[in-house]
Amino acid sequence: MLVWRLNTHLLTLNTCRHVFQIYFYIYTQMPNPKGNPQSLKPFTTDRDEPLTEKVTLRVTKTMKQELSQKENPPEYCREAIQEKLDKDKQKNSNQ
């Protein structure tokens, strides 16, 4: 009798876990039916090459504070990285 109760208890816990997983998937992965339909339209850009990739980097607290004061921090970072890449390209081509 004790083994049967333990097994049914475990079955109940597993069932609850699966129900929670399904609930979590539905509410995090499925689109909101009351959402803004304009947000579902594909993103367009006027750039030569679209911004499809992400980069994460660590900076000092001071750098982050200075960067957050810029008008458009992401664009500022993109321009700074591109300048450095261009300098490295020129340096390598001159050698």
Highest mean pLDDT: which of 35-39, 50-54, 69-73?
Answer: 69-73
Report d(CA 37, CA 40) in Å as an integer: 5
Q: Which tens digit of pLDDT belongs to each residue from 55-77?
A: 999 999 999 999 999 999 999 99
Instruction: Please tell me the predicted confidence (pLDDT) of residue 3.
Output: 47
On whether residue 37 sits in a domain, the answer given is no
Separation between Cα atoms, residue 67 and residue 57, nearest integer Å? 13
How many domains, the chain? Answer: 2
Domain membership of residue 46 (yes or no) is: no
- pTM higher than the cut 0.75: no
- Is residue 91 domain-resident? yes
Q: Of 3 and 33, which is predicted with more confidence?
A: 33
Domain enclosing residue 87, as ranges: 54-95
Q: Is residue 36 part of a domain?
A: no
47 lies in some domain: no
Residues near 45 by Cβ (< 8 Å), separated by ≥ 6? 51
Residue 44 falls inside a structural domain: no
